[in-house]
Amino acid sequence: MATSASSQLSKVVKRQYMELPQGDKVQVMYIWIDGTGVGFRCKTRTVDSEPNSIADLPEWNFDGSSTYQAEGSNSDMYLIPAAMFRDPFRKDPNNLDLCEVLKYNRKTAGSNHRDTCTKVMQMVEHQSPWFGMEQEYTILGTDGHPFGWPSNGFPGPQGPYYCGVGADKAYGRDIVEAHYRACLYAGVIICGTNAEVMPAQWEFQVGPCEGIGMGDHLWVARFILHRVCEDFGVIASFDPKPIPGNWNGAGCHSNFSSKKMRELGGLLDLVESIEKLAKRHDYHIRAYDPKGGLDNARRLTGRHETSNIHEFSAGVANRGASIRIPRTVGQEKKGYFEDRRPSANCDPYAVTEALIRTCLLDEDGDEPLVY
């Protein structure tokens, strides 16, 4: 796996320059999702003063022919500021700006799922939909193998690594801790982290977020992870099944509730939503990874704490089901459910939009409605 040698340069040397005063100017890093639907692009511009909100940031443009988003003969695309966060790398007063992408004719780019997600969320705003997403990922070394694994072999079998402690169990904790603190600084609603079942695999959780905020915060948390890994000289992989065989894959379990589900007796609404999901399984599988289910097919095998991609199932405290109802929810008769199907490389806008369409807008059929 080819990697940039710059990732190995001394960050101590860089620090003396980053401590120089910047006057009244502010650096704003514009971030967007490229044509792959999973990759990030970013570039920075100087503004004259610290922005108070998105409205203070100007639109910008970029060459879409170099990001899999346009032809070279008509390549200019627009960056529309959508969500603003503090910059944990350059620090205050500098900012990170998550952008939507529009084509030359100002229509939504193919990889921009935030636009339709926003419209759908606005339709159910009165129902206060809450989301929490559990993002699993794998740390890779520059050789393409999971970080800390033998270059010509495998570590010991799974068992001691989940939430493990010790140099022989936790592979890459420094990266995890740096990412966690950077997210808190940025204002990302990150609520936890833990080592996962496969060595060098970790998870962080984002939420609870309401409506469109779920996608905004998870995408920025992912961007920050990539930047942190860049500084450490390693790679963050969101591949749903990075290592074939008897190793756990990586998902993005999505927790969801409406206002009614969280109220006394909300279990009835929760069960009704699960029944709606059962009738629309194929639609959700297509929405839950960027390749319409092909990536997830490697992960959702019915083994390694997953359901089978071809079957819908639900159960209390069952991590082998499509939908898991937490045991406390079953006892309290209210709360949320966990959709365990989304892949680690899913688009959180597409996942949360699909849940709203099926559970709260009562859509059925194989295709989403156009409103």
- Residue 143's pLDDT is what? 84
Residue 135 has pLDDT above 70, yes or no: yes
Q: How confident is the model over 233-268, as pLDDT tens digits?
A: 999 999 999 999 999 999 999 999 999 999 999 999
Q: How confident is the model over 51-81, as pLDDT tens digits?
A: 999 999 999 999 999 999 998 778 899 999 9
% of the chain residues with pLDDT over 90: 92
Phi/psi zone of residue 304: left (φ > 0), alpha (ψ -120 to 50 degrees), beta?
A: left
Q: Cα–Cα distance between 102 and 109 in angstroms, integer? A: 5
- Residue 74's pLDDT is what? 85
Residue 2 has pLDDT above 70, yes or no: no
Residue 136: pLDDT band with limits 50, 70, 90: very high
User: In the predicted model, what is the mean pLDDT of residues 343-355?
Assistant: 98
Q: What is the mean pLDDT of the chain?
A: 95
CATH assignment of 5-111?
Answer: 3.10.20.70
- Residue 151's pLDDT is what? 84
- Residue 113's pLDDT is what? 96
Tell me, yes or no, if the pTM score tops 0.95: yes
Residue 292 has pLDDT above 90, yes or no: yes
Q: Which helix (H) or strand (E) holds 203?
A: strand 201-210
Residue 192 has pLDDT above 90, yes or no: yes
**Fold for the domain defined by 121-359:** Creatine Kinase; Chain A, domain 2 (3.30.590)
User: In the predicted model, what is the mean pLDDT of residues 87-100?
Assistant: 98
Q: Give CA separation, 52 vs 94, 189, 310, 335, 352, in Å.
A: 11, 19, 48, 35, 28
Residue 1: pLDDT band with limits 50, 70, 90: low
Residue 225 has pLDDT above 80, yes or no: yes
Residue 199 phi, psi dihedral angles, 5° rounding: -60, 140
Q: Give CA separation, 105 vs 76, 80, 100, 118, 290, in Å.
A: 10, 13, 14, 20, 24
Q: Which of 121, 111, 119, 132 is nearest to 67 (CA)?
A: 111
Is residue 212 classed exposed, middle or buried when 0-12, 13-18 and 19+ CB atoms within 10 A define those classes?
buried
Q: Token digits for 199?
A: 């060595």
Q: Cα–Cα distance between 138 and 249 in angstroms, integer? A: 9
Residue 103: pLDDT band with limits 50, 70, 90: very high
Instruction: Give the start-to-end residue ranges of the domains of the chain.
Output: 5-111, 121-359
